[in-house]
Amino acid sequence: MQGVDGYLSQARELESKQDYAAIRLYEQALNAFPGQPELLKRLGIVYQTELKFKQSIEAFQKVLQIAPEYEEVNFYLGLSFLGLNQYDKALDYFDRELKVRPDYRRANYYAAKALLALGRSGEAVQRLEILAKQNPNDTRVWFEMASIYRSLAMHAYNQLENIDPDSVLLRVLRAESGADDRNFSEAIKQYGQVLKIQPDFPGIHFALGQIYFKMNKYAEAEPELKLALKEDPESPPANFMLGQILLRNKKAGEALPFLEVASAGDSTFMKAHLELGKCYMELQLPERAEQILAKAVVKRSSFSGAACSAGAGLHASE
């Protein structure tokens, strides 16, 4: 008489060929070995593959009656309920699997799918963030998160447009979108309209200064950045851009205080340190230039060393 392992081996071979005569073989095996959990599990998986979700649920539930924590069965049961669009039940079974196997990635991934179907986007993102933390190189997880955030952003934008189509906030969003897409002329137009409606709207002068800086329109960028610094005098990027413009215009003395603020405000801002070093050289202050450039080199080396150590640690733990 053939044993359980013999039946499983034959049936798995049929499955690999997508020959679902495997169902009949599993049924024969269960007649010979009633209640054998691995046979029931495999039968449920084949039913599921054929989209026979109700039959698969029956098979999986029989397994759980015998062994409530049998490996992956709660997960597969969740998948079958997901196939029937019964999202609450699907989520419950995914979470049961995770209680036993907290690091089981597939359970968290499909739990996120169920949560999203239930309209619980924030919780879905939390599940995906767990997966991203476990494996930052999982492109599928990042794709799912990007899709959710894009959907949420579009929903929020449409809601804002429905509530107040002439909202100054909507114009800011359009301007930001234009800037992100490098459609600078549209962004400048929208920011200009914002300033006409609400001249004290925070951050607009910095945004305009940054756009003009990226366009190499330094004459237009300079006054906007000066206005931005009235709002936020310690802003490293605003101080850096203004300092760099002044340095390029051979105004090293005027550039110096801005570059010093930019360099002091962000220890990782290498470009600010380098520009400050150049500024000291222009002002015939080689010792101060050497000091700031030496610090920049040390900080960069420390950062690279830490990154290498982290990488080595990752490889060692794999």
In a domain, 212, yes or no: no
Q: Are residues 134 and 164 in the same domain?
A: no
Query: For position 314, what pLDDT does the model report?
Result: 35
Report how many domains make up the chain.
3
Q: Is residue 317 part of a domain?
A: no
- Are residues 123 and 16 part of one domain? yes
Three-state DSSP class for 234?
Answer: coil
- Residue 117 in any domain: the answer is yes
Of all residues in the chain, the percent with pLDDT exceeding 90 is 63
pLDDT tens-digit readout, 47-95:
898 899 999 999 999 999 999 999 999 999 999 999 999 999 999 999 9
Shared domain check, 55 and 105: yes
Give the contacts of 229 (CB within 8 A, at least 6 positions apart).
Answer: 235, 238, 239, 242
191, 230: one domain: no
Asked if residue 43 belongs to a domain, the reply is: yes
pLDDT in tens, 189-233: 999 999 999 999 999 999 999 999 999 999 999 999 999 999 999
Half-sphere exposure of 68 (CA within 13 A, CB side): 3
Sequence-distant (≥ 6) Cβ neighbours of residue 259 within 8 angstroms: 239, 240, 243, 244, 247, 272, 275, 276, 279
pTM of structure:
0.64
**Domain-embedded: residue 108:** yes
What pLDDT is recorded for position 46?
85
Residue range(s) defining the domain that contains residue 243: 223-298
The CATH number of whichever domain residue 254 belongs to comes to: 1.25.40.10
Co-location of 132 and 66 in the same domain: yes
177 pLDDT more than 60: yes
Question: Domain check: are 195 and 108 in the same one?
Answer: no
- What pLDDT, on the 0 to 100 scale, is given for residue 110? 97
| Average pLDDT of the residues in 15-33 | 64
Is 279 among the domain residues?
A: yes
Same-domain status, 197 and 238: no
